[in-house]
Structure 1
Amino acid sequence: MKPLFVRLLITVALAVIAVSVAGWWYAQRSLKLAQPVVDFTVQRGHTMRQAAVTIAAAGVDVSPRSLYWIARITGKAGRIMAGSYEVHQGITPWMLILKLSSGDVSQAEVRFVEGWNFRQIRTALESNPNLLQDTAGLGDIDILRMIGATEAHPEGLFFPDTYLFDKQSSAVAVLRRAYSAMKQRLALAWEGRDPRVPLNSPYEALILASIVEKETGRPEDRGLVASVFANRLRVGMRLQTDPAVIYGYGEAFDGRLRKWHLETDHLYNTYTRAGLPPTPIAMPGADSLNAAVHPARTDYLYFVSRGDGTSEFSSNLNDHNKAVNRYQRGSAN
């Protein structure tokens, strides 16, 4: 009996070794892919068995059963993480399991550009195929509540930047990050503001920054542009900023600013109304935020575009009219 038992133990041991060697060999072999890069998504709550089936169905030539058992034997089956993954040529079953258990998800990005309005932000989010579209069909106020914002209007509340995210992340989550980033930037800017700036709150600084953002794309001009508006606010002059007027017309604006636009009163018409408009008109970047709270110290009250992206600044109406004639009307007088 004893020799038979020993032989049985040896046979079992050899079988286990053989299976282990075969399993390890399989785990280390490169898998064929249907395409050079294969994407797949492991849904939240899916087991390793379900994930293995998903991977095979996506175009990875792997045995779901074998992949599951390798993960189970190595203690990784219960550690897989939900998310979108990307695999390339040369991937092995063991590398797949490590990727799943470490949450090495693939990332995508969405860019919010300085000067964009909230409508453009929504378009960027809702046209991104890698985002879970949980803002589609919602009103602006509904979205603000979802991200925890206390403001009543979404314009200007999001910081322009390139945001990386795991594929199939929530669009609301991306917006929440951009909102938080702007709150932090604005709080820092307001805390370090020039005490002489004629603004009463961080929100007013955000409004002014949005105007500066739309009035010039030249970094060297931002402080000067901000100084014009700060000086006007100090003396009670109307801001007379065209971008605010245009913003008030929304999608109805056809791209050409006419005299009647400036004469028709509405909430954002800074030609007919004193002070700042009621909300920001765009998404300001860091430089515009800084210019709004640290405007250059000048006596300028006017500026006009030179037509090359720069501006001509003036301290009085006579000099301004000369600049308008020169740069806008082509006259030297």
Structure 2
Amino acid sequence: PTKYYGTPTQHFRDAGVNLIIWANHNMRAAISAMRETSQQIFENQNLVWAEENVARLGDVFVIAGNGELSEAENRYLAKRAETKAVILAATRGSKLEDLTVDRPKCMVDVRGKPLLHRLVGSFNDAGVRELTVVTGYKAGTVNFPGINTAENTDFETTGEVASLSCSMDALKGECVVSYGDIMFRSHVLNQLLDCEADIAVVVDANWKQERVETTKRTVDLAACSHAYTGDYFDDEVSELTRLDSAMNEADANGEWIGLAKFSAKGSELLRAELDNMKSDGSLGKSSMNDLFNRLIDSGAKPQVVYITGNWLDVNDAFDLARARNF
């Protein structure tokens, strides 16, 4: 019924029609989508927007019936190590005021889903499915399928590292550690997972341009051995040399976004340092910056994975409005 789009379907049924093919409008919808995508690619001169707004490549393979290719890949190609993730989500998020009276910040609604649901979905899409969420404030509200939980009962008087230590059982093998109040494009996590360093951190080199001046938040500034250049032929490895929210901006090469990965060896180093901090009494009040600086001082060389924007964190109502348009 290409030209009779206004005719109620029941009229066709009453006339004895037993098959309707709605194909023309699907084809025309595809043309509109291709035009929009092509325009965005031309204007942005990159594929980041497109990758986030088109069907996943896996869907194409399924429709094309490439089961044989998928089977061959599983049989012959090297497999990425099974990766776990720990999400730190113990805080209330008091700057969100009434929105967090009965729930933690990670459970605030973002376009019909809690922020944490969206973060878990990002990990699942990247193949990371064993997830441990460290809860604290209103811990009982963080309860949905597909996650394990570990509770920091002292969340009101302790910091991020204390929360991380509550998930010691999960810090084995290859593991990603993430703040629970961030959102990022899929390529950000994929870049991190592809990094083979024992410890890797995601640093936004575009932090000054991305920073919204109307929001007042703590910025985890990162000093690195090699500045971001944007040159695709620049393959020099950059290492994290210091993390400090009080660092002179002139000494910073970017902002750590709250996302890091540890290999099996890196996880051993992480657990050992957490044990050391517990022994010397510094665990309770320490930040993730303190933890990384101690790892660096002990000889670890975290590798920097540079990005340029394409992420955000949610601290107040203004950030939440940005998240709803992300």
User: Same fold judged by TM-score > 0.5?
Assistant: no
Normalised by the length of structure 2, the TM-score is 0.24
- Please identify the structure whose Cα radius of gyration is greater: 1
Which structure shows the higher strand fraction? 2
Q: Which has the higher contact order (CA 8 A, sep 6+)?
A: 2
Which structure shows the higher helix fraction? 1
